[in-house]
Amino acid sequence: MTKQTVQDVDWKDKTAVVRVDFNVPLENGKVSDDTRIRESLPTIRYLMDHGARVTLMSHLGRPKGKVNPDFSLAPVAEYLSGMLGKPVLFLPDLAAAPAQVKALKPGDVALLENTRFHAGEEKNDPELAKQFAALGDVFVNDAFGSAHRAHSSTEGIAHTLPAVSGFLMQKELDYLGRALSNPERPFVAALGGAKVSDKIAVIRSLLSKTDRLLIGGGMANTFLKAQGYNIGDSLVENDALDTAKALMAEGGDKLVLPTDVVIADKFAADAQHKPVAANAVPDGWRILDIGPKTVAEYERILRGAKTVFWNGPMGVFELKPFATGTFAIARSLARLEGATTIIGGGDSAAAAHESGVADKITHISTGGGASLELIEQGDLPGLEALRGAPNA
C-alpha cells in the first residue's frame, strides 16, 4: 500500500490542494474536539515548511448539497489559525477561490468552505472535481476517514492533478496495511456494534486473516439466537439468522461468542441488571453487555496476541452500567507489551479515550467506516485514485 507522499514532491512554486478530514464537532460555533485537526498538522506544517502554498478542503456534517451556515467551516479556519500561529484565509466562494489562492505566498494556508455545500460533491461530479483541481498543482489526500467515499474532493480530483498521500493517510495505511497483509501472530480481532448485516464481509475477511475473532455488542445477539438461545427483548436481526449460522460454520473455533451476558429490564442507566448465562435470558429482559466470564475469556485470549484490531463496542457503553465489557477490551489492549494494537475509529476510539488508555494504543484510526471497508475490500476509492499518479 505504499504510495507517493508529500515527501516525493518538490514544493517550490507549487500549491498543494489538501483533502483533510475536518468533520469535527462544533458547539455554539466553536470546535469542541480538535482530534482530527491535530492529526492533519504534520502534513500541513511539512508543506508550509517546504515552501508550498496550501489550500485545504473538507466536508463537515451532512448539509445535503446546500449552503447551510450550521455546517460552515469558518469556525474551523479560525481554530486552525490559532494552532498554526498564523492567519488561515477562509474561502467561502469556490468561484472566487482560484484568484485568492494565486495571491497566497509560500507557506500561506487557506481553507475552502464545506465541499458538501455543492450538490455534485457526493455524486463525484467531474466538473466540480475540476473546480477543486483549479485550486492547486498537486492533490494531497490526507483524509483517510473519507477515503471510502468516491466524491469529487476525494477521488474525482485525482484524475486531474498529480495525487499523493499525506502523512496521516500513510500512517493509516502503514498500520492497517501491515495488519491485513503481514500481521505478527497471534492476530486477534474484536468486533462489536449493533448489526451483523453491516459487517458480514468484514467478518468473513477477518476470519480468513485472524487467529481468533471475538464478537460482542448487539451483533452477538443475532449469533446467540442463531444457536437457538432465547434472548428475550434483545436487539436482534431476524433476517440475518441464516447468515449468522453460516458464519459460525465457516469460523468454527476461530469465532468466539459470549458465554454470559449482562441483561437489563429496560434500556436505561437506572435499569435493573444482572449477569446470566448466554442461554438463560428471561422474557422481558434484554442483553446490553458481555458478561464477566466472557470478559475474562476475551482478556485471556488478548493476553497472548501480537496484533489486535478492534472495532465496535461490546455493549451499550454510553450507559455506565453496561460499559464494563467495552472498557475491559480497551484496557486489555493498553496492557499488551510488544504488540501492535489498532482501534478502527468510531465508538471504539471514543471508548479508548473515555477509559483513559488512548495514549497506550499503537494506532487509533481516524476512519471507522474506512478502516472496515479497507479490511473488507482491500482498497478504497480515495486510495485507488492515488495509484499511478504522475510523478509530481
Does residue 145 carry a catalytic annotation? no
Does residue 36 carry a catalytic annotation? yes
What is the 3 state secondary structure string of the chain?
A: CCCCEHHHCCCCCCEEEEECCCCCCEECCEECCCHHHHHHHHHHHHHHHCCCEEEEECCCCCCCCCCCHHHCCHHHHHHHHHHHCCCEEEECCCCCHHHHHHCCCCCCEEEECCHHHCCCCCCCCHHHHHHHHCCCCEEEECCHHHCCCCCCCCCHHHHCCCEEECHHHHHHHHHHHHHHHCCCCCEEEEECCCCCHHHHHHHHHHHHHCCEEEECHHHHHHHHHHCCCCCCCCCCCHHHHHHHHHHHHHHHHHEECCCEEEEECCCCCCCCEEEEECCCCCCCCEEEEECHHHHHHHHHHHHCCCEEEEECCCCCCCCHHHCHHHHHHHHHHHHCCCCEEEECCHHHHHHHHHCCCHHHCCEECCCHHHHHHHHHHCCCHHHHCCCCCCCC
| Residue of 344, 346, 367, 368 marked catalytic | 346
Q: Which three cell numbers stand for residue 363?
A: 494506532
| Residue of 36, 116, 212, 286 marked catalytic | 36
| Residue of 3, 178, 195, 360 marked catalytic | 195
Does residue 346 carry a catalytic annotation? yes
Does residue 286 carry a catalytic annotation? no
| Residue of 216, 344, 369, 382 marked catalytic | 369
Active site residues: 36, 195, 346, 369
